[in-house]
Structure 1
Amino acid sequence: MKNIEERKISFIGGGIIAEVFIMRLIESGFVFQKNIMVSDVKPERLDYLKEKYCIQVTSNNSESASFGDFVFLAVPPMQVKVVLSENCKDIRKDKILISLAAAIPIWLIDSVLCKEVAVVRVIPNTPSQIGKGVNPYCLGKYLTEQQSEDAEKLLELFGNAVEIEESQMNMATAITAVGPTYWFPAVKSLLDFAKAKGLDKELGYKLVVGTMQGTAELILKTMQDPDELKLQIGT
């Protein structure tokens, strides 16, 4: 992997997922802000990203594809084939293309590019924005050993990067990407309960979130069935 002065990262698509990755890349110090470029069709979105993060922006996907050593494909799934076909000449073999597009298999990306490009597919979850995500990823068949290592190092900035077979991707992301939608309502209910009982916000968050965090760590450390652990309460 190049040193930090030379390292460049680009995004084709500047939506919410791209912004999550940009925030974390800057916070981690993995890349200089001037060495991040984003392309998008919405001028107002580019203006926002440039002003907030002091990064380079362009309305030209080809320019963004040429810029990065790591190129994040962050467009909606229905746009993937068109975007790739229009910019395939700029996605060279020495780059690593990281697809964030849900339900788009690597073979489809390979077929559109029509050349041996290193492709990584990953679906991030919400905690990735603070480096605490659990992000299943799979590797295309054209990555070198060094490229595989570089991709893993990059993805680990966002949390626990778990390499899986692509056949497992849909099931894995149903857990990791959708999972937080089960936890947030439970936390909200307990926070509302704490507030109703007169606890201030800071104390309520400490008690509720701390309990959730400790419970998760207990399950992970013991690997016991949650039903068995539940029986320990009050016995």
Structure 2
Amino acid sequence: MSSINLQTVRIGFLGAGSIVEAMLAGIVKNRLLLPEQVLITNRCNQDRLQWLSEQFGVSACSNKHTLISQSDILILAMKPKDAAEACQSLRGLVRKEQLIISVIAGVSTDCLGEWLDIDCPIVRTMPNTSSAIGLSATGMAANRFVTKEQLQLATLLFEAIGSVYTVAEEELDIITGLSGSGPAYIYYLVEAMEGAGEKAGLSREMARKLTVQTLLGAAQMLLHTTDEPALLRKKVTSPGGTTQAGLEVLESFRFQQAITSAVLRAAERARELGAQYQ
């Protein structure tokens, strides 16, 4: 495609998992595309296809040949373990002018190009599970065949489920460790904070409300002030006060080092998984 025309573009989703559902919700809710501009298929779960079709008004397609021939953009959303076989089965069907967008974790654009056996524009993305409520942090990288207009279109599609950050492809592994896996670290923290509240006598409901509002407030402070996190932390911490006492406990358990190690290990694991597909 030489230019963006959202009125005529057609998108085909190969896969029907949670990220696809989130993208469909964002695209339909924000009226980025009409439902009749979207086709979906998966390998075997017809009930899932039928549900998505009824939920969002998109067209379920049992024949991938038909889906590919009718789509300007193909979104690869199969599981990583199935990706090689699935992509190789598309050889001879994908056209050079089709934009390929991958949400497959760990698989490089070079690897996808080899599996598809064609030099075509490929955009690799890493959304996170907050896409389900339109608040994903999505990292995005493009191969050398992607035009400026195609990258802009891919960005529009993922902005329907949150924020998009275009990066070099080698940075996607650390993005996987930071924002891809990041929600799990936050939920783990919430588990601990809620548990502490309950242990000290609060009801579960009250502990949840206080914890979530505290996190929400802290996130908004980070968004709406120019202060660095360290400065914001110091503003909360009075010498000899309650916050300092709590932080001293976190430091004794090497809290910051644990978080840093978790992010870096997740990024390393993303590289390990990607190496399996080379």
Q: Given the alignment of the two structures, is residue 55 of structure 1 paired with residue 44 of structure 2, yes or no? A: no
Give the letter aligned to residue 233 of structure 1: V
Deviation at 1:204, TM superposition (A): 5.5
CA contact (8 A) 2:19 2:132 kept: no
Change (3 A) 1:99 1:231: same
User: Equivalent pairs: percent with the same residue?
Assistant: 23
Q: Which residues in structure 2 correspond to 1:184-203 (within 5 Å)?
A: 184-190=187-193, 193=197, 197=202
- The 1-side partners of 2:27 and 2:79 are apart by 21
Moved more, 82-91 or 32-41: 82-91
CA contact (8 A) 1:125 1:134 kept: yes
1:147 aligns with 2:140: no
Q: What is residue 114 of structure 1 aligned with on the other side?
A: 117
Of 167, 170, 184, the residue aligned with 2:170 is 167
Q: CA deviation at 1:34?
A: 2.1
Mapped pair 1:2 → 2:35: no
Secondary structure class of the residue paired with 2:160: helix
- Distance in 2 separating the partners of 1:35 and 1:214: 39
**In structure 2, what residue type is equivalent to 1:108?**
C
User: Does structure 2 retain, via aligned residues, the 8 Å contact 1:13–1:75?
Assistant: yes
Q: Which residue of 2 aligns with 1:224?
A: 228
Look up the match of 2:36: 34
Q: 1:79 to 1:200 in 2, by over 3 A?
A: closer
Q: In the TM superposition, what are the counterparts of 1:11-26 in structure 2 within 5 Å?
A: 11-26=13-28
Instruction: Report the CA distance between 1:39 and its aligned residue.
Output: 0.7
Computing the radius of gyration from Cα coordinates, the structure with the larger value is 2
Q: Which amino acid aligns with 1:113?
A: L
Against the structure 1 CA distance between its residues 13 and 204, is the aligned structure 2 distance closer, same or farther, given a 3 Å change threshold?
closer
Q: Structure 1 residue 199: deviation in Å?
A: 8.7
1:199 and 1:76 map into 2 onto residues whose CA distance is 36
Alpha-carbon distance in 2 for matches of 1:184, 1:29 = 31
86-95 or 69-78, larger mean C-alpha shift: 86-95
- Is the Cα–Cα contact under 8 Å of residues 22 and 161 in structure 2 kept in the other structure? no
User: Which residue type is aligned with residue 161 of structure 1?
Assistant: V
After TM superposition, the structure 1 stretch with the greater mean CA deviation from structure 2, 186-195 or 127-136, is 186-195
Q: d(CA) in 1 for partners of 2:234 and 2:147? A: 49
Aligned residues: 231
SS at match of 1:87: coil
Residue in 1 that maps onto 2:276: none
Shift of 1:188: 4.3
Which amino acid letter does the alignment assign opposite residue 98 of structure 2?
Answer: K
| Matched residue SS, 2:66 | helix
Q: 1:141 to 1:45 in 2, by over 3 A?
A: same
- CA shift, 1:189, in A, is 4.7
Contact 2:19–2:131 under 8 Å retained in 1 = no
Q: Using a 3 Å threshold, how does the CA distance of structure 1 residues 194 and 39 change in structure 2: closer, same or farther?
A: same
TM-score normalised to structure 1 length: 0.87
Deviations, residues 147-169 of structure 1 (Å, cap 9, x unaligned): 12222222222211111111111
Indicate if the aligned counterparts of 1:12 and 1:73 stay in contact, CA closer than 8 A.
yes
Q: CA deviation at 1:223?
A: 4.9
Quote the Cα distance in structure 1 between the aligned partners of 2:84 and 2:203: 54
| Counterpart for residue 134 of structure 1 | 137
Q: CA deviation at 1:209?
A: 2.9
Q: Are 2:23 and 2:158, in contact at CA under 8 Å, matched by a contact in 1?
A: no
